[in-house]
Amino acid sequence: MEMFDFYDLNDQISVFSDTDSGFKESYDNEEYENNQYEDDFVIDFDEEGYFRALNSLINETDESDIEPDDTESELSEISEPDEDFYQVIGQDTDSKLTSCVLIDYIDGTYRTCGQVNCKKRLRELIGIWQIDSEIVTAVKNDLSKLGVCMSHFNFDQRIHKKKIKSMTKSTEESRIQQRQCLFCHQNHHYFTRGIGCTQHSWVILDRVILTPCIGQIDCYALKESGNFCKSSLKNFSRPRFSCGNCFVDKGGHLYTKPGKGKKKKVGCEEHHVADTSTQLEIIGRWFIRIAKFGEDKFKNKTLAAIAPSIFQILQEIRPTKHTSEPTISESVSEEIPDVPSLFMLHVGMQLKQINIEVITQEDLKDQFCQDLGKQFALKIWKSRIELTLNKNQLQNPQSIGEYVSSFPSWLVNFFYAFLTGIYEKKMAIVNQRRKARNISIKANDPVQITKIVSLFLSILISITFPSLQIWFSTIIASLTRKPKMAGDLTNLLAVLKVLSHCKEHERRLEKERMNKVDPTKRLKKNSYFWNLAVIDNIDFKEKTFSYGNIFDVTRGTSHATLRMVFQTPLQTPIIETKHDEKALVSHRIFGINVTAQKILDLYDEILDECLGFYYSNNDHENLQFETNFDISTVHKKLIERMDRGCFGDPQHVVILEAGGIPNTNEGIFNAAKMYKNDFSLSSDEYLDIVADESIFRRLINLRKEWPNLRPILGSWHTNKDMASALISIFSSYGIFDLAAAVGVKYIDKLEKVVDYRATVRIIELIWVSVGIALRIHLKSKNMHKYDIMDDKYEEYQILKIWYLFYNWTGLFIAHRIGIRIGNFNIQKNTLAAFSPLLPSAGKSNYAQSVSHFFGILEQYPKLEEKLQVAGSFKVSEDRFGHFMAFDEALETFGVKFIKQNVTGNVIDQENLKRQVKASQSEYERIELFLNEYLHNNTSTNHERSTNLRKDEMWSLVEKLLIAFDTKDFNHYNQTHDLFHTSYPKEIHADGIRRLKECYKRGLHRIHLIYAQEVLKKEKIDTTGRRVKEVLVTKCKDIEKPPRKRKNTNILDNQPGSSDEPPKKRVRRIPSKEAVEILAPMVAHSLPPTKEEVQRYLAALEGISSSSDIWDAARLT
C-alpha cells in the first residue's frame, strides 16, 4: 500500500496548502531564541559492525520461534545499539516528489501533514526531523524523491540561526538515518544534514542526545544544567535518538500550531507544572531500589552524597500543628537553584539502565506476590455490587466491547496492561526479524487482546460468582452440547490462544509423532513373560457418502488386521522344546467328562440352597421353598463355588503395527509372520496366537509352512457360537416362547445373537427358571433327575425337553464362568462336553476348528500349562469374576479402543495403519493430562445396572411347573398359552427322540472330524457335515396370529339421528369387461397418473351399470 493512501489527501490539501496563511504565519512570524552553536560534528560509519548486525538479523526467525531467553537477549541488544544505519541522499532525479515526509505534531497527533504539492526536496532542510518510515520504504533507494512542503521548509529555515546555516554542511551530506529510540526501542527514520544538528544537540552523561528540532523551539526540557547537561560541540560519537512521542511522554513538549486567529499561547511552564513532583517520585523509587537491592558500598556512597543536602533541608523545615506536612521557614531564601528537567532525569536513568518503574521484577518475590494476590482476591470479592448492576450486559451483551466494559475497570486495565506488555515484547522481536527479511512490520491487534482479556475476566468472575451466569461461560457450555459445532469451538480456543497451534499444524505434528512411534519398544523382552499374540480384523466405513448420487455411489471402506500382544508375567519361566511335544493318538476327548459332570451336580446343589426346601407344619405333602432370590444370587454363588485362576499379575498389553487385509490367506499370513520380527523369534521358538474361528482356520493352513505356529481358538467367539447353537437346537421346542415369557419382544434379534451380552442374559434367565422349576418338580415328586429321560417319549414331553436344555445350557454357562474367573480347566472341559452339539446344530466350521484346537492342546502340553496360568485376560485384581477372554479383550481394548481414538481419513490405508500403530502412545500422552485434571479412571469398578426381571422369572417358573406336571402336551397347549408365540412343531414323540439322540450323533460326528482333520487316520470326507440333527425353526417361518382389525367407524349417536342400524357395506365385484380394460394398469407397478385415470374412466363409462360404478377414488 502506498503511503499516499494513508491520509485523505483532499482534506489534507485544503488544510495545509501553500496558500494557507494560518499555518505559514504560525511558523514564519514566530520569534525564537537562538542558541549559540558554531561547531559542526561528524560520526564515522562502522561498516564492519553494520554488516555483522545485518547478517544477524537475516538469520533470525519469526514470532513462532521466539524463546524467552532469546527475547531478553535481543531486547537488551536493541536497547544499546552499537551500529549506525544511514544512507546518503543521492543526486536529484526528475522523479515526482512524494508527499511531505516530515512528521509533525498536528491536531494532537504526531503524523505527516499529508501535503502532496511539494516544491522542496528533503535534502534541502537543515535540522533534525523524524520522517515517515513507510514513505521512505516506498521510494526504495531513490531518496531524492522525498519531498517537503513549503510551510515546513520555511519553518525549518527560521528555527535555525543564520550562522548555523552557513556552517552547516552542503546538501550532499544530507542523509536518512535509521535509529532506535532510546526509550521505546522502536526503529525510526530521521533526516539530518550531516550527522546531526549542532544547534539542537546535547550531551548528557557524556552521551549525545538528539531529538527532532521541533521539540526545542519553546521547550526547555533540554537546556544547560551544570555538568549534567551541556550543549554538544563537535567530534561526538554514538548519539542516542529520542522519537517525538517519547520526547513528549518523558517530560518534553513539541511545538503546536496555534491555528487561525489570535489565541492565547500556552507557556512552557504550564507544560511542566507536575515535573518537580514526578522527579521526586522517580528519585524516591530509585533510592528505595538502592536500599533493597544495592551493594553496601554503593549504598554508603549514595547516602554520603545526599545526607548533607537532606540535613540542610531539615534545618530549613518549620514544623506545624495545623498541616500534616512540614513547611519551609520564612527566614529561608526563596531563591531556588536551576535543576535538571524531568526529561533529563529520564535520559540519565535510561542511559544507566536504572529501572524506575513502580513495581519491578526484583519486587515480585514470593511473599510480595502472595500478599498482592490476597488483596486482588479481596477486591474482586467486593466487586459483586458493581457486577450485579451490570448483570444484564454481562449476560446478554450486544458486542464483545460491551461485555468487557461491564467488568470492573481496574480489573480490565490490569489484564490489558498485562497482555499488552507481553505482546509488545514479542512484537519488538518479530518486527526486527521481519525488517531484516524486507517484510512489512506488524502491529499489535487490540481486538485480539480484547478477546483474550474477555477469557481471563470470564474465568475469574465465573469462579468467584458462578450464579451470575455470564455470557462467555454459558455460551461455551452450550457449544459443548453441539457436536456439529466442534470445529467452531476449536477455532475459538485457537483464537483465545488456549491451543498452542491450529488444527492443520497439529495434523502435521501428529503425523510426525506417529511416524516416529515404534510399538515394539513397549514390549517387555524377558523370559518371565509369555507373549500371547491376538489378531482380529478391524474395518471402517465413511460416515457420509461422497458427493454424488447416493443410489449408485457406495461409501468407502478400509480394512486391516489388528495385531496385539498380551504379555503374561510368569512366576517361573516355562521353557519349551521339541522334546515336550506329544504324539496324537486318542480321539476320545469329547463328550461329558468328570469336570463337566461335577459342575452340573454343583448347579443342583446351589439351586437347592437358594430354594431352601421345607415342609410347613410337619406336613410332608405341602412342600414350601424360598422365592426371595433372583438370577444374580445364583450367579454369585456359582462364581464363589468354582475354582478361580489367573493368580499372577495383570497382563501387559501392546498394540502393534497393523497387518494387511484380513479376508485373505495372504493377509493373515503376513500379519502372523510380522510377530517374528516383533518378538525376535528364532526358528525353534513357538508363536502362540489367539483368533476367532474364521482367522483360526486360515492359521491352521499356515501351519503347513510354519509348524511352530500354534493357533488358539478365541473363547469369547466360541462362547458366542455356543449360544447360537443352543438357540438353533431348541428353536423348534419352544425357546422363543420362554424368551417371550421373560419379556423379550424382538425374537429375531435373539435368534441372530445381535447383542451377545443381552442374549446371554436371556439364556441365563431361562436356564435359571428351568433349573428352579426342575428342582421343585423333582423334590415334590421325590424323583431323581436321571429318571426323567426314560423311553416313554409320549409322556412328560415338556419335562424331557427342558431337562436336556438345563444340562446343555449348563455347559455353556460354565464355559462362560470359566472365562470370567480365569479357569482354563473349566473352559476346556465344558467346551469338550458341549462340542458334540456344534455339528448337530450345523456348526461344521466350529466343529472343525474345535477339533484342531484340542489337537494342538494335546500335542503341546506346555501350552496348556501356560493357559492354566493365564486362561483369561486379567483386567485388574479387584475385577475378579469379570475377567475377559483374550479375543474379547481385543474387541474391547483393541477394536473399540482404536475406533474411539482414531482420527483423520481412516479410509486411507496408510493413515489407518499409522493411526493403529501410534494409538497407544497418543492415548497415553493425552490420558496423563486428563488424569491430572479430571481424575479419570478408565477401568469400570461399578456393577452394571441391569433389569434382573425377577417377577418374570418366577412367573415363568410357575408356568413351567404346570407344564412339567402335564403328560399330554396337546392338552396342555389347549388350556395354557406358554407356547403360543412360536407354536413349536417338535414337541412330540419323534421330536423328543431326535433331540435326545442329537448329542450322541453329534459326538460321533466330531470324533470323525477329529480323526480325519487332526489325526489324519481317515480320508477327509466333508459330505453331510452341515446336516442338522434337529429341525431348526427360523423366526421368519413362525406363523404370526392375525391381527385384530380396529373398527374405525364411529356411529353418529347425536340427538335427532336415525335409529335405523347402519347398512352393511356391500363389496363391489368388477365385471369381466372392466377387468380386461384395467389389466394394463394392474400390471404396472406405479400408480396411474391423472391423465391415465381419466382415460380409464372414459373407457369404463360405456360398460358401467348401477351396481358397478367407477370413479377416480375407486381406481386409485
494 and 519: one domain?
Answer: no
Q: Is 188 helix (H, G, I), strand (E, B) or coil?
A: strand
Q: What is the DSSP letter of 1010?
A: I
Is residue 821, in this structure, part of any structural domain at all?
A: yes
What pLDDT is recorded for position 1101?
74
Print the domain residue range for 1092. 1072-1115
Is residue 316, in this structure, part of any structural domain at all?
A: no
Q: Is 559 helix (H, G, I), strand (E, B) or coil?
A: strand
> Could you tell me if 876 and 526 are in contact, meaning their C-beta atoms sit under 8 angstroms apart?
no
What pLDDT is recorded for position 790?
86
All three cell numbers of 654, joined, read 501392546
CA dihedral 133→134→135→140, nearest 10 degrees, is 90
Is residue 978, in this structure, part of any structural domain at all?
A: yes
pLDDT digits (tens, 9 = 90+) for 352-396: 888 777 676 767 778 888 888 999 999 999 999 999 999 999 999
Of 463, 492, 460, the closest CA to residue 475 belongs to 492
695 and 761: one domain?
Answer: yes
643 and 676: one domain?
Answer: yes
638 and 532: one domain?
Answer: yes
Of 1028, 1029, 1026, 1035, the closest CA to residue 984 belongs to 1035
Number of domains in the chain: 3
What residues of the chain score a pLDDT lower than 70?
Answer: 1-85, 163-169, 233-237, 257-266, 320-337, 358, 360, 362, 543-555, 587, 618-620, 878-879, 935-947, 1039-1067, 1083-1086, 1102, 1104-1108, 1116
Decide which of 1027, 1042, 1057 is a domain's last residue.
1042
In this structure, what are the phi and psi dihedrals at residue 179, rounded to the nearest 5 degrees? -130, 155
648 and 705: one domain?
Answer: yes
720 and 806: one domain?
Answer: yes
What pLDDT is recorded for position 57?
38
Crossing angle for the helix pair 342-351 and 275-293, to the nearest 10 degrees = 30
| Amino acid letter for position 73 | S
878 and 904: one domain?
Answer: yes
C-beta pairs of 860-864 under 8 Å, 24+ apart in sequence: 860/576, 860/580, 860/581, 860/582, 860/686, 860/710, 861/580, 861/582, 862/574, 862/576, 862/580, 863/576, 863/686, 863/688, 863/710, 863/712, 864/824, 864/828
Q: What is the DSSP letter of 225?
A: B
Q: Is 814 helix (H, G, I), strand (E, B) or coil?
A: helix
What is the greatest pairwise CA distance in the chain? 142
All three cell numbers of 393, joined, read 450486559
Q: Are strands 207-210 and 109-112 parallel, antiparallel or unpaired?
A: unpaired
- What does the alpha-carbon distance between residue 1070 and residue 1067 come to, in Å, rounded to a whole number? 10
| pTM reported for the whole predicted model | 0.65
Is residue 247, in this structure, part of any structural domain at all?
A: no
What pLDDT is recorded for position 771?
96
476 and 559: one domain?
Answer: no
Task: Express as a percent the part of the chain with pLDDT over 70.
Answer: 82
> Could you tell me if 849 and 691 are in contact, meaning their C-beta atoms sit under 8 angstroms apart?
no
Is residue 771, in this structure, part of any structural domain at all?
A: yes
Would you tell me how many other CB atoms lie within 10 Å of the CB of residue 172?
A: 12
- What does the alpha-carbon distance between residue 491 and residue 493 come to, in Å, rounded to a whole number? 5
How many residues does this entry show for the chain? 1116
CA dihedral 269→273→274→276, nearest 10 degrees, is 60
The 3-state secondary structure of 1026-1093 reads CCCCCCCCCHHHCCCCCCCCCCCCCCCCCCCCCCCCCCCCCCCCCCHHHHHHHHHHHHCCCCCCHHHH
Is residue 465, in this structure, part of any structural domain at all?
A: yes
> Could you tell me if 726 and 837 are in contact, meaning their C-beta atoms sit under 8 angstroms apart?
yes
- What does the alpha-carbon distance between residue 960 and residue 966 come to, in Å, rounded to a whole number? 10
522 and 482: one domain?
Answer: no
DSSP, residue by residue, 749-803: HHHHTSSHHHHHHHHHHHHHHHHHHHHHHHHHHT--GGGSS-S-TTSSHHHHHHH
| Amino acid letter for position 388 | T
pLDDT digits (tens, 9 = 90+) for 753-777: 999 999 999 999 999 999 999 999 9
833 and 725: one domain?
Answer: yes
994 and 1094: one domain?
Answer: no
What pLDDT is recorded for position 20?
37
- What does the alpha-carbon distance between residue 997 and residue 443 come to, in Å, rounded to a whole number? 90
Is residue 238, in this structure, part of any structural domain at all?
A: no
What pLDDT is recorded for position 912?
83
- What does the alpha-carbon distance between residue 1002 and residue 832 come to, in Å, rounded to a whole number? 12
Is residue 126, in this structure, part of any structural domain at all?
A: no
What pLDDT is recorded for position 379?
93
669 and 794: one domain?
Answer: yes
